[in-house]
Amino acid sequence: MRILAFFNSSIHAQLTCLDEWTSIERDHVNSLTWAIQDLQASTIRIPVTGGAKGDVETVKAAICSAVDVMQAMGSSLFTILSRVEGMNSLVSELAGVAAQERAMLDECESVLGSTTAMQVRKK
């Protein structure tokens, strides 16, 4: 019964970590999608074909917009990075718990094997 309670608490902790990871991944994908759309919108406004002429102010505005997007992206990535670093620590801890669980399962298997052998001898 004690082992079952341990397994339940371990699995619950793992599910919590996976839920947090899902949230981080969703935030990251949303940030990247927004950044890609803004960068595409900004670069489309920059004339790049041979002989094209553009208004200096328009080109400046487009480049400034792209820089703003990259700065926002950097801030977003910094926020996500700190969350991922925290998650990395949790994943390392989870790996340790999984190794302990494996050892306990191996021990249970050994005990069950011994118990079965004893029961067979009694009969």
Distance, CA of 90 to CA of 16 (rounded, Å)? 10
Mean of the pLDDT values across residues 76-90? 80
Whether 66 and 39 have beta carbons less than 8 Å apart is answered as yes
The verdict on residue 73 lying in a domain is yes
* Closest by CA position to 87, among listed 1, 2, 28, 5: 28
* Closest by CA position to 13, among listed 87, 80, 103: 87
Mean of the pLDDT values across residues 31-37? 81
> How many independent structural domains does the chain possess?
1
pTM of the entire predicted model: 0.40
Whether 24 and 80 have beta carbons less than 8 Å apart is answered as yes
Instruction: Please check the confidence at residue 71 and state whether its pLDDT lies above 80.
Output: yes
In this prediction, residue 49 carries a pLDDT of 66
- Give the residue, 2 or 60, on which the prediction is more confident: 60
The verdict on residue 60 lying in a domain is no
Q: Which domain holds residue 29?
A: 1-43+67-121
